[in-house]
């Protein structure tokens, strides 16, 4: 029987230099889309997909993350006293059950592959998900849930994919594809940031993965790839041909919150889904669109 995906790794040890000075004292993953930090959106998505254990790979200057996901008895008491049920609900949603949240440190930002490898002790011999909180996905069904459903059908390794303009292939991990039925793609190879002329396709990997634990064996070799970083894409490429490997054309829109304009667009798109503010936001947007 196929092992269920119950663990998720959140690599959040990057320096977030594109958002300086905002990220000097506040981790990039704590920047909010309206009123909820990016990392909390990612945790909520994982919960909706059935994830039970959460592994944060952090680095220096990330203490705000620990405080955010901790229980704050004093704040809870204050909100109770004020009968602020809305605030209390919002705060309770940030809490992760005792023993279900794990922190590990990546002492140096040596690359995404290295960050994932830092979670190996908690992942153990189980399949696991990875969510990069910088990639925010707005969809009917949460993106990771769509992937878990696909995993129940085909097993192995699954990455969420979308088409990008050919001139942008040098920004992403790109698939070499076998068959494509419009939903699932069979993967024949993966290349990190290929030049447009050399890219085997224009299907790029977004920050959502379901991987088998054997990827850790390949990561443990610490081989450097593009940009002299230890690349997750290179370790995943080693699994191709050894285990099933699929790309999933997910339903939804992905926003790159690692950059300023993408972050702003995600903020607007998220706000427009919120019944408590959509009309007002639309009014404001109209004001600035003329």
- Among 14, 127, 173, 225, the residue binding ligand UTP under the rule CB under 6 A is 14
Residue 246, preceding peptide bond in cis (omega within 30° of 0): no
Using rule CB under 6 A, residue 132 touches ligand UTP = yes
Written as one string, the DSSP assignment of 16-29 is -GGGTTTTTTS-GG
Stretches 16-24, 119-127, 185-193, 279-287: which one binds ligand UTP (CB under 6 A)?
16-24
Stretches 90-98, 128-136, 180-188, 192-200: which one binds ligand UTP (CB under 6 A)?
128-136
Q: In whole angstroms, give the CA distance from residue 263 to residue 37.
A: 12
Question: Among 68, 54, 70, 49, which residue's Cα sits nearest to residue 11?
Answer: 54
Q: Which two structure tokens, joined as six digits, stand for 227?
A: 């940009």
Using rule CB under 6 A, residue 111 touches ligand UTP = yes
| Other residues' Cβ atoms within 10 Å of the Cβ of residue 135 | 21
Q: In whole angstroms, give the CA distance from residue 268 to residue 54.
A: 28
Using rule CB under 6 A, residue 290 touches ligand UTP = no
Q: Tell me phi and psi for residue 38, to 5 degrees.
A: -50, -45
Minimum CB distance to ligand UTP, residue 36 (Å): 17
Minimum CB distance to ligand UTP, residue 114 (Å): 6
Minimum CB distance to ligand UTP, residue 232 (Å): 9
Torsion of CA 40, 41, 46, 50, to 10 degrees: 90
Q: In whole angstroms, give the CA distance from residue 116 to residue 79.
A: 37
Q: Tell me phi and psi for residue 101, to 5 degrees.
A: -120, 130
Using rule CB under 6 A, residue 225 touches ligand UTP = no
- Among 28, 68, 120, 208, the residue binding ligand UTP under the rule CB under 6 A is 28
Using rule CB under 6 A, residue 110 touches ligand UTP = yes
Q: In whole angstroms, give the CA distance from residue 10 to residue 43.
A: 9
Minimum CB distance to ligand UTP, residue 124 (Å): 20
- Among 16, 127, 173, 247, the residue binding ligand UTP under the rule CB under 6 A is 16
Q: In whole angstroms, give the CA distance from residue 235 to residue 223.
A: 9
Q: Tell me phi and psi for residue 198, to 5 degrees.
A: -100, -5
Minimum CB distance to ligand UTP, residue 43 (Å): 13
Of 203 and 230, the one with the shorter C-beta distance to ligand UTP is: 230
The size of the chain, in residues, is: 290
Q: Which residue is nearest to ligand UTP (CB)?
A: 14
Do residues 146 and 251 lie in contact, with contact meaning Cβ atoms separated by under 8 Å?
yes
- Among 5, 8, 9, 12, the residue binding ligand UTP under the rule CB under 6 A is 12
Using rule CB under 6 A, residue 173 touches ligand UTP = no
Q: How many residues bind ligand UTP (CB under 6 A)?
A: 21
Place of tokens 């088409």: 163
- Among 258, 263, 267, 271, the residue binding ligand UTP under the rule CB under 6 A is 258
- Among 46, 49, 112, 219, the residue binding ligand UTP under the rule CB under 6 A is 112
Stretches 64-72, 104-112, 157-165, 216-224: which one binds ligand UTP (CB under 6 A)?
104-112
What does the binding site for ligand UTP look like in residue numbers (CB under 6 A)? 11-18, 28, 57, 106, 109-112, 114-115, 132-134, 258
């Amino acid at each position: 029987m196929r092992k269920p995906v119950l663990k998720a790794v959140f690599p959040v040890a990057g320096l977030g230099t594109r958002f300086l000075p905002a990220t000097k004292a506040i981790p990039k993953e704590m920047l909010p889309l309206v009123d909820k930090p990016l990392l909390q959106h990612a945790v909520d998505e994982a919960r909706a997909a059935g994830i039970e254990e959460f592994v944060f790979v952090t680095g220096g200057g990330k203490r705000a993350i620990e405080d955010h996901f901790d229980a704050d008895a004093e704040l809870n008491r204050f909100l109770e006293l004020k009968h602020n049920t809305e605030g209390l609900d919002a705060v309770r949603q940030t809490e992760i059950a005792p023993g279900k949240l794990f922190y590990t440190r990546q002492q140096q930002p040596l690359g995404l592959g290295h960050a994932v490898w830092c979670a190996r002790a908690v992942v153990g011999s189980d399949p696991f998900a990875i969510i990069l909180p910088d990639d925010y996905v707005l969809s009917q069904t949460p993106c990771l849930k769509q992937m878990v459903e696909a995993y129940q059908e085909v097993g192995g390794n699954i990455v969420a994919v979308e088409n990008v303009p050919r001139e942008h292939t040098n920004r992403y991990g790109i698939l070499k594809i076998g068959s494509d039925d419009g939903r699932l793609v069979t993967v024949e190879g993966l290349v990190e940031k290929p030049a447009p002329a050399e890219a085997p396709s224009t299907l790029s990997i977004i920050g959502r993965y379901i991987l088998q634990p054997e990827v850790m064996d390949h990561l443990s070799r610490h081989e450097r790839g593009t940009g002299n970083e230890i690349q997750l894409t290179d370790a995943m490429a080693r699994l191709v041909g050894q285990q099933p490997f699929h790309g999933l054309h997910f339903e939804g829109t992905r926003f790159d919150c690692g950059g300023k304009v993408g972050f702003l667009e995600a903020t607007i798109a998220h706000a427009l889904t919120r019944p408590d503010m959509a009309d007002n936001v639309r009014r404001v947007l109209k004001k600035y669109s003329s």
